[in-house]
Amino acid sequence: MSTEAVRQYLLALQQRIVVAMERLDGGAFVRDAWTRAPGERLQGDGLTLCIDDGALLERGGCNFSHVRGSQLPPSATQHRPQLAGAPFEAMGVSLVFHPRNPYVPTVHMNVRMLSAAPAGGEPVRWFGGGMDLTPSYGFDDDVRHFHRACRDALAPFGAALHPRFKRWCDEYFYIKHRNEPRGVGGIFFDDFAEFGFERDFALMRAVGDAFLGAYLPIVERRRGMPYGEREREFQALRRGRYVEFNLVYDRGTLFGLQSGGRTESILMSLPPRVRWRTRYEPEPGSAEARLASDFLPPRDWCQ
């Protein structure tokens, strides 16, 4: 199977997701198609689709990119040192949605394929991706639904994958300097090439195809809940944690910046309204305090 099939799948996935979100929001994503000419640090093309100040989404982006470069950046070879410096090809769809209503959780999803051509060797291809949920206010039904959708997407590939990818997600989306998870997790996998190209690609498709079913029912349940300035303030504080993780630890952000990617596309994941407060502590027993005590600690949500 050629990498062109991966490209066509990713473009179709991006379109499906954006059409669904436009229907819910009522607004339109702004389309920004781009190309990188020969002679630039990266060559390739992509499609950035963003929305700002929507009825549902205060900010959202769903990006497709397909680039080629002369040298893999360090963020892509930390687990494959033998490929350091090799020419590469990378393509993927990455999205982050920051809803306006604090009761609707932020969500991230990414599916991607990388290929490297080491000197004197055969091309090496691998896949990565996943999805994770970052609520400001926790609801058991929402978190259980999201995790069960992730589990069901992986079930055709063996029962061992979901606990493995869930643990990977819990460990990856962890803000080390805060000693806390970014959100309530989901699934995450990277550098994956265990089943052969066709089945690895099928696994990536299963994750991408599961996204709308995992997220949209939560949006529908929470988007009409009333909120005030207290909830918006807490949402802005939690978004600050999101920013810290993305700029300090996220491998996708680092890959884009290190490889010379488009800054606008890379940083579309950042929310528009963020706050930091010194030594902030939520009121004991409040919904804000329960996020940290009852939802952020990793647990089995599929029981």
- State how far the Cα of 104 lies from the Cα of 222, in Å rounded to an integer: 5
Please give the span between the terminal C-alpha atoms of the chain, in angstroms, as a whole number: 38
Please tell me which residue in 66, 79, 98, 108 is annotated as part of the active site.
Answer: 108
DSSP symbol at 160: T
Tell the burial category of 148 from Cβ atoms under 10 Å away from its Cβ (0-12, 13-18, 19+).
middle
In 3D space, the residue among 96, 91, 92, 93 whose CA is nearest the CA of residue 21 turns out to be: 96
**Closest of 127, 134, 184 to residue 161, by C-alpha:** 127
Cα(303)–Cα(282) distance, rounded to whole angstroms? Answer: 29
79 classed as catalytic: no
Give the pair of three-digit tokens for residue 190. Answer: 């990277």
Residues catalogued as catalytic: 108
